[in-house]
Structures are given as C-alpha cells and as structure tokens.
Amino acid sequence: MQASLAATTQYLDDTVCQQRFPVIVGVNLDANAVPQHYVLVTGKEGSDFLIADPFFSKLTLGDYNNDFETRGFVPDPLETSVNLTSLWVTTRSCWL
C-alpha cells in the first residue's frame, strides 16, 4: 500500500532531521514500483531532502523526481543503546 505524501515526508523529517539518522531510500522505481537504485537521505535544505548517491552525481530526492520508497535508517554506531546487529527497515513509499 502506498503511503501518503504527508506521512512519508513526516517520516523523513522525523528520522533525518529530528533523530539525525540517515534514511536509505530506493529510487528509479520500475513499473511495479520496485527500486532499481538506492541512495542515502542525509539532511534537508528548504523543502529538498539532500542525498548521498553512491553512483550518480545527484544531490537531492528532487533529482529523482521525488519518486522514492523508504527502506530504513542507519543508527549512530556510537549510540550504546543501539543494537548494531540489525538494520531498521520500513515499507513506506511515496511519489511526490
């Protein structure tokens, strides 16, 4: 089920901006909404979410037409309360 734009944006705002955890998102969705590439959302500038793209020289989710699916976040390894043997995964997706 597709998450609403507001819910997905709020999730990114909460996780990236407030909790300061980068979020893994899938982009380049195919006809079945399956991601063909992954980037890391690292921050927000204005209304644009900033990304680290391991392959392309794209800087924001807007460079992918804001068409993405969230996969999970990366906890701070220095946080002693975090179990480093796992990755937090979500199943939200959104087309902005």
In the chain, pLDDT over 70 holds for what percent of residues?
Answer: 72
Question: How many Å apart are CA 21 and CA 85, to the nearest integer?
Answer: 16
pLDDT number for residue 4: 65
Domain boundaries, the chain: 5-95
User: Is the confidence at residue 88, as pLDDT, over 60?
Assistant: no
User: Is the confidence at residue 41, as pLDDT, over 50?
Assistant: yes
| pTM reported for the whole predicted model | 0.72
58-73 pLDDT, tens digit each: 999 999 998 888 888 8
